[in-house]
A and B are shown apart, each in its own frame.
Chain A
């Protein structure tokens, strides 16, 4: 048996040069220090993405993207198809946990100043991946065609529609017409399973390649003699897979006790249900739009909020170029402070959505 395996390995090694890859993995070192816990969230994101792809492919077998059958096909998956409830619940729960893991990964990278030179592009590709996964969440949310997702899509795309000059064109392009209709499901489906995965593979490829080339960033101010280095293979990868197993167990528990809801079928001519809100990761923006006054200095409040988020996002992406101190391996408490403000704003506004719904 051992000889057969060795022959197979030799055959493959001759053709794919596997020994080079194994040598690279053995030589690759990962820094270990008091903050290294946060390194594992990158791997968790990757694991959850793989889970998304696998369950997404399985859901494609029964899902039909049209107004007449989208909701019915999800009901069929949840109630008739064997383990359909599990596949869809794993897809939905892991999507939500993935977004949370991306946020944790992003903020931990921010506070550890992992974005500093030469890892600016790693940060920027990570930022684009966040936007792509938010778009995944937004487009996937509509696919079951339920009333919550219908109105969330209406509000979300109308936000894009308020942009001056190009807003209406963007909205029409996204929706496939002036309103949320069957054309919108087709477009969102196309985005969700075609365009966004393609973009993800490209940008994620660059992101992971940069991590391989540049290695993991060490935090500023930790003396070099206090940073140990452990082999990526097998030490780091084993701890990484332990994290994956824990996440998988958590998803399993959530799916069994809280299978993902199907909701009421969307009716474009029904009133918006009371207490409606988008997915949790959009609620900080939702609450901002709720409390901002209608007009500020004769400019529409929503316009100010939307531009605020856009400019804030742009500055966040450009942080590696703005934080000059970190670029010179010096501490930059001002940027840490800004990071805490942003983090607290997101947490508080998200909590406000759930704790003060009548605000």
Chain B
């Protein structure tokens, strides 16, 4: 390596180093900071008297919404309210007795299985139990 090549390499390397010194902290600054998420496995979703048959409630399950349905037979079912297609919040349609995602018309039955529309997977279902006046919803497994 002659003197000129060495100088070129040295100056080029310095320039690259300077760019990296500015770029690295900038990129780290822009990337979102990881937040500690509290994992909630069980929650009181509603009071027993709150839900008449053939109605539903969207409840807060940790950081995402869940859906609790009291079917026309009086049976309680709970699922994640996040549609498996593109994460809209689903609703319960009492007329058809099905769960509907209003964004792209994905439809699920009361077991969370896809009946029609674009959702690729069923809704995540939760355990439901009654404890006194409370309806307790918990994650399976």
A residues within 8 Å of B by Cβ?
Answer: 151, 154-155, 158-159, 162, 172-173, 175-179, 183, 268-276, 286, 289-290, 292-295, 300-302, 358-359
Number of A-B contacts (CB under 8 A): 81
The answer to whether B91 touches A294 (Cβ under 8 A) is no
B residues within 8 Å of A by Cβ?
Answer: 30-32, 35, 58-60, 63-65, 67, 81, 85-91, 101-105, 114, 117-120
The answer to whether A290 touches B118 (Cβ under 8 A) is yes
CB neighbours of B65 from chain A (8 A): 268-269
With A154-B87, A154-B88, A155-B86 as given contacts, are A269 and B58 in contact (CB-CB < 8 Å)? yes
The answer to whether B31 touches A173 (Cβ under 8 A) is yes
The answer to whether B104 touches A289 (Cβ under 8 A) is yes
The answer to whether B88 touches A177 (Cβ under 8 A) is no
- A120–B70 Cα distance when bound, in Å, is 61
* 29 sample A-B contacts, Cβ–Cβ < 8 Å, listed by A number: A151-B88, A154-B86, A155-B88, A155-B103, A158-B87, A173-B31, A173-B32, A179-B63, A183-B32, A268-B65, A269-B58, A269-B65, A270-B58, A271-B81, A271-B90, A272-B91, A272-B102, A272-B103, A290-B118, A293-B118, A294-B114, A294-B117, A294-B119, A295-B120, A300-B120, A301-B118, A302-B85, A302-B86, A358-B105
The answer to whether A270 touches B87 (Cβ under 8 A) is no
CB neighbours of B120 from chain A (8 A): 294-295, 300-302
- A143–B90 Cα distance when bound, in Å, is 24
CB neighbours of B88 from chain A (8 A): 151, 154-155, 272, 276
A263 to chain B, nearest CB (A): 16
